[in-house]
Amino acid sequence: MIALDVGGTTLKAALTGPDNEPFLRARRDTATEGPEAVVAGILDFLAELAAEGRARRGGPPAGVGLAVPGVVDEAAGMARYSANLGWRDLPLARLVAERLDGTPVGLSHDVRAGGLAEGRLGAGAGVGRFFFVALGTGIAGAIGVGDRMEPGAHGGAGEIGHVVVRPGGARCGCGQYGCLETVASASAVGRAWAEVSGAAGASAADAARAVRAGDARANGVWREAVDALADGLMVVVNLLDPEVVIVGGGLAEAGETLLDPLRSALAAKATFQRLPAVVPAALGESAGCLGAGLLAWDRSQLPHTPEVSP
């Protein structure tokens, strides 16, 4: 199987066998010359991966799994919209199948693919209902039910980053004001810390280090982000009642510096709700690619053993 995680800056790929264990990993920069160049780069990379798989295993790929950002209509195989990559209503699954001589193609949102991997192989394994939230440049989520991810009626389920938690707050790229990702994403925390510290280019990791060092200014930035994140997750708790919330993405690299106050903030906000366990993601940046591999196996309907070490 070919697994490909399409990012705004990097294409991360793997070739996997029936145990979903990668026997080849590869990376390539994402094209920046416009949507046509992005698609051409994806197709060329997949063709090279297919040739490498044939050379190593003696046959063509049995399936392809693609994880892409933006709005994705999984049933139709359409990448509906991506602001970063510039495409709209792109029949990506069909284009890939045509390039690879009819190979079955599974297509999903990148965070849902990451959630799929966490649900089957990582922190959500054996959990009936979970919510996976990725705190990176933006914030996105994925709803896990059993061993599948819920895409919603139009491919937009899980968009917690665009829940308004601070009405009248900073303008979001989506056009609203006060969305969760304007306050609690890794990029938002980095910007806020840079502003109060005067350190141009400071990151969320820098803010976390300052929090651990006891810096009062950093603690203020951190509390604001954690409180907003707790408000967003209380919406998830009230609507979905998950057993577990899995926290991933760059901001989650702060570990218990983030998770411990987040649990406390949720407990302070709850009244009658039964709160989920809040745990770190287990698969790191491999989640999207591993999820894409699982998509490929699901699409092919071939037997496999979905066990892999991160």
Q: Report residue 310's pLDDT band, with 50, 70 and 90 as the boundaries.
A: very low
Torsion of CA 288, 292, 294, 297, to 10 degrees: -170
Residue type at position 247: V
DSSP lists the bridge partners of residue 24 as 15
Quick check: 85 and 71 in contact, CB under 8 A?
no
User: Which pLDDT value is given to residue 285?
Assistant: 85
For residue 95, what is the DSSP state?
Answer: H
Find the distance separating the first CA and the last CA of the chain, reported in whole Å.
18
Domains 2-113+286-299 and 126-281 share a fold: yes
User: Which pLDDT value is given to residue 302?
Assistant: 60
Looking at domain 126-281, its CATH superfamily turns out to be ATPase, nucleotide binding domain (3.30.420.40)
The mean per-residue pLDDT over the stretch 284-293 comes to 90
Please report, for residues 64, 92, 133, 307, the alpha-carbon distance to residue 36 in angstroms, rounded to integers and kept in the order given: 20, 12, 30, 36
User: Which pLDDT value is given to residue 299?
Assistant: 81
Asked if CATH classification 3.30.420.40 holds for the domain at 2-113+286-299, the reply, yes or no, is yes
pLDDT at 230 over 50: yes
Across the chain, the runs of DSSP E, i.e. the strands, are: 2-6, 10-16, 22-29, 64-68, 71-73, 78-81, 88-90, 105-109, 129-135, 139-145, 148-150, 244-248, 277-280
The mean per-residue pLDDT over the stretch 204-221 comes to 96
User: Residue ranges per domain, the chain?
Assistant: 2-113+286-299, 126-281
Q: Quick: pLDDT tens for 136-182.
A: 888 999 999 988 899 888 888 999 999 999 999 999 988 899 999 99
Rounded Cα gap, residues 47 and 109, in angstroms? 22
Rounded Cα gap, residues 162 and 155, in angstroms? 15
Q: Quick: pLDDT tens for 116-143.
A: 999 999 999 999 999 999 998 889 999 9
Rounded Cα gap, residues 302 and 61, in angstroms? 12
Sequence-distant (6+) residues with CB within 8 A of 292 are 3, 4, 5, 14, 65, 66, 67, 106, 108, 113
Residue type at position 84: N
Angle between helices 204-212 and 216-240 (to 10 degrees): 110
Average predicted confidence (pLDDT) for the chain: 92
Phi, psi for 191 (deg, rounded to 5): -65, -45
Sign of CA dihedral 57, 58, 62, 67: positive
pTM: 0.88
